Amino acid sequence: MSPPVIDPQVLAELQQQAGAEFVRELVDTFAEEGPAQLAAMRAAVAAADGPSPALRRAAHSIKSNATTFGAGRLAALARALELGERCADAAALDELQAALDEALAALRASSTE
């Protein structure tokens, strides 16, 4: 059995500490910024060889947000790109995109419960 997309305990703790309404606002902000950060990563890959500072900053932001929400797989993928542990190529960014989409869907579903 694979782990959940979003760790329910992490999300519950965040909602308890910050309030459900504020967490919904954070999710909305992440839903806007996450895809933009991924687009910045794609542009950085297209413009340069190797991990650029722009790519690392965008990956760091995605990783930080993912960690806040308990999106472990997304955080791990972004961390590997941030630290240069994984080659930032189209396949890696496509995998990050899929993990981001999955995490955002799960967060939206959980914020409406």
pLDDT of residue 111 exceeding 80: no
The set of residues, in sequence order, having a beta carbon less than 8 Å from that of 58 and lying 6+ positions away, is 37, 38, 40, 41, 44
- Which of the 8 DSSP states describes residue 87? -
Residue 39 has a pLDDT of 95
Q: Residue 79: which pLDDT band, with cuts at 50, 70 and 90? A: very high
Do residues 96 and 74 lie in contact, with contact meaning Cβ atoms separated by under 8 Å? Answer: yes
Q: What would the pLDDT profile of 15-35 be if each residue is shown by its tens digit?
A: 999 999 999 999 999 999 999
Burial 33-68 (b: 16+ CB within 10 A, else e): ebeebbebbbebbeeeeebbebbbebbbbbbebbbb
- Name the pTM for this structure: 0.91
